[in-house]
Every structure is written in C-alpha cells, then in structure tokens.
Homo-oligomer: A and B are copies of this chain.
C-alpha cells in the first residue's frame, strides 16, 4: 500500500529498458519507436526523456537520425536514481516541507521519523536494482515462458 509506482516512473522504466536493449549498438532510439513499442503517449514520453537527460541518465542526439541513448552502461544505472530523477526534485522539496510541518508538533515528528525509516527501506531495494538486472530478469522469464510453451 505505501509505495507508489507512478505512471511517470513506469513509462520511464519501460523506455529505458528499450534503450538498454540496444545499448551496445550505440545507435540512438527515437521517441516514436519507443512510444510505439511500449504504447506510451509520445508527447508525454518526450517530457520524461527530457527530464532523464537533465538528470544525466540519458543522452540525446538532435536533428535527423537523432534520438536517445543511455548515458552509461545499464549496469551503472540504479532504479532509485531513475525514480529520484523523475519525482525526486520536487518530491524532495515536498518532503522537506512535510517534515517541517510535522515537526512543529511532537507527535508529528515521531510519525515522520518512522515513515522516513520505511521510505529508506524501500529506497534501499530500488538502490540495489540496476537496469541490467531488469533486463536479465526479463530475459530469464522469457526463456522460461518459452520452455513452458514447448
């Protein structure tokens, strides 16, 4: 119940998985291709990729034959970093003001502490997964499904 998976993060992860698949080719992937493949509204995905670029997770190449590439190897990109990039900036500010509001009262401060502990636990999980891990896991699953099919 407590951990949210926003539409934003989901779209971004799907897009990054696509980029991770073609990472070794060094060829950029275009918004259109990704949005068609993963059924994501292209104009919206554009915004997300721009945010990821500003966050240093993705590189972009402008002009004809342009597109997006991962800025680093999939092994070096954690899920926490991704979601922090997308929701982190304003969310972090939001969190600060929430903490401030709560800490005005003693009880509120205690509650905020416990919630931060829970939050930290969830973050640690996401910290320990990389894009590569997701790819590997998906490939393994696909193999398994194939074997069952036969």
Asked if A45 lies at the interface with its beta carbon under 8 angstroms from chain B, I say: no
CB-CB under 8 A from A134, the residues of chain B are 107, 110-111, 114
Asked if A119 lies at the interface with its beta carbon under 8 angstroms from chain B, I say: yes
Contact status of A1 and B112, CB under 8 A, knowing A118-B126, A122-B121:
no
Binds B, one of A50-58, A68-76, A136-144: A136-144
The smallest beta-carbon distance between A13 and chain B, in angstroms, is 5
CB-CB under 8 A from A121, the residues of chain B are 121-122, 124-125
Asked if A108 lies at the interface with its beta carbon under 8 angstroms from chain B, I say: yes
Q: Using C-beta atoms within 8 Å of the partner chain, give the interface range for chain A.
A: 35 or more
Residue on B nearest A114 in the bound complex, by CB: B129
Judge whether A122 and B13 touch: CB under 8 Å.
no
CB-CB under 8 A from A14, the residues of chain B are 107-108, 111
Partner of A106 from B83, B84, B113, B141 at Cβ < 8 Å: B141
* Bound-complex Cα distance A95 to B3 (A): 10
Asked if A123 lies at the interface with its beta carbon under 8 angstroms from chain B, I say: yes
Asked if A10 lies at the interface with its beta carbon under 8 angstroms from chain B, I say: yes
